[in-house]
Amino acid sequence: MAKAKPEQANVPTVTRADVLRGLVEVGLAAGDCVLVHSSLSSMGRVEGGPDAVVDALLDAVGPKGTVVFPTFTGDSVIEAILSEGGAAKGPVFKKWAGLKVTDISRVNSDNITTGAIPKAARRRNDFVKSHHPLYSICAKGPLAAEIAECNDRYIFPCGERKFIHLMSEHGGKTLLLGTTHSTNSSIHLIAEFGGSEYKMQDKAYWFVTVKEYLKLSRKEQAAMLVPHLGGNLPYGLERHYDNIDGPLKKAGAIRFGRIGNAEVRLIKIADLVRVGLEELKRDPCFLVSKVPKSLSE
């Protein structure tokens, strides 16, 4: 039998039962409504692949709980719209340069950027699927249809109009499974409710519905994406979302665990926003730094 390569020696094998045990230990409970950001490879070799993780999450929350996965395709669609609409001098998302998206109302699963686990969930027939052109989700549970409908209402949903805020009102949690706050979509609520200048600059478009956006020409769609990406700011932005970890720990508002090699974080969305807003009052650039502008110049 061939010996394992040195770099593979510390890669554990993780089962569905292992995932479930880790989720319960970190505090995920029956009846929870949870938004899951995940990295399959971070855990190790997962028996059953991404579907085993989806099953374990459903096991943890039970039939009265709701699991929500982001199945965002924004990078690819935004790159295509900016290119076709002539709003960028060069690629913003280089991976997707040259991609043609003829019908942005249809979610192409091949372009999902949030990983293998959300892709696996979206392939299932028992999940409710939203069809947001940029930031689609899929969900299963009693709140799934309501959350998906909320998500599909506005093209740039912010604050009270965001599906994550709806989840927060239901006591929702964010689970970071092998990822950091750099992927934590709930963090955007802090900037939106906190009135951060880099988020306020696109406020004019917060009430534009998906239906209204789809009726626009590519040029008009592209023009609206520029402030959404911060392209009309006099500076660029460097994100430091992991700065929220310290204040959350101090407030006792975050729980840590481990599944295989993956670090796991669980936070109530309302706690994240509350703690984040307190920090934002002390330092308006708590989560970002202003840097020389480079994108879309």
The full DSSP string for 225-282 is HHHHTTTTSSSEEEE-GGGGHHHHHHTT-EEEEEETTEEEEEEEHHHHHHHHHHHHHH
CB 39 within 8 Å of CB 72:
no
- Inter-CA distances, 213 with 96, 101, 134, 203, Å: 21, 15, 11, 15
b/e 43-57 (16+ beta carbons within 10 angstroms → b): bbebeeebbbbbebb
Residue 1: pLDDT above 50?
Answer: no
CA nearest to 135, candidates 223, 225, 32: 225
| List of residues 6+ apart from 144 with CB closer than 8 A | 66, 68, 127, 128
d(CA 38, CA 54): 10
Over pLDDT 90: what percentage of the chain? 87
Q: Name the region of 44 (left: φ>0; alpha: ψ -120 to 50; beta: rest).
A: left
Range of 161's domain? 9-291
Domain contains 171: yes
Domain contains 99: yes
CA nearest to 181, candidates 292, 55, 279, 60: 279
Domain contains 296: no
d(CA 276, CA 193): 10
Domain contains 76: yes
Residue 66 structure tokens: 């709701």
CB 280 within 8 Å of CB 288:
no
Q: What phi and psi, each to the nearest 5 degrees, are found at residue 274?
A: -60, -50
Domain contains 297: no
Residue 8 pLDDT: 58
Residue 4 pLDDT: 45
The structure's pTM equals: 0.94
AA letter at 181: H
Domain contains 44: yes
Considering its fold, how many domains does the chain have in total?
Answer: 1
Residue 6: pLDDT above 90?
Answer: no
Q: Which residue has the tokens 């390569």?
A: 5
d(CA 202, CA 216): 17
d(CA 125, CA 18): 25
pLDDT, tens digit (0-9, with 9 covering 90-100), for 44-80: 999 999 999 999 999 999 999 999 999 999 999 999 9
Residue 101 pLDDT: 85
CB 141 within 8 Å of CB 61:
yes
pLDDT, tens digit (0-9, with 9 covering 90-100), for 243-273: 999 999 999 999 999 999 999 999 999 999 9
Domain contains 222: yes
Q: For 124-244, where are the alpha helices, taking DSSP H only?
A: 144-151, 163-169, 188-194, 197-200, 210-214, 218-228
Strand pairing class (66-70; 33-38): parallel
Residue 85: pLDDT above 60?
Answer: yes
Domain contains 2: no
CB 128 within 8 Å of CB 69:
no
pLDDT, tens digit (0-9, with 9 covering 90-100), for 176-229: 999 999 999 999 999 999 999 999 999 999 999 999 999 999 999 999 999 999
Q: What phi and psi, each to the nearest 5 degrees, are found at residue 43?
A: -80, -35
Residue 142 structure tokens: 């009693």
pLDDT, tens digit (0-9, with 9 covering 90-100), for 7-24: 556 899 999 999 999 999
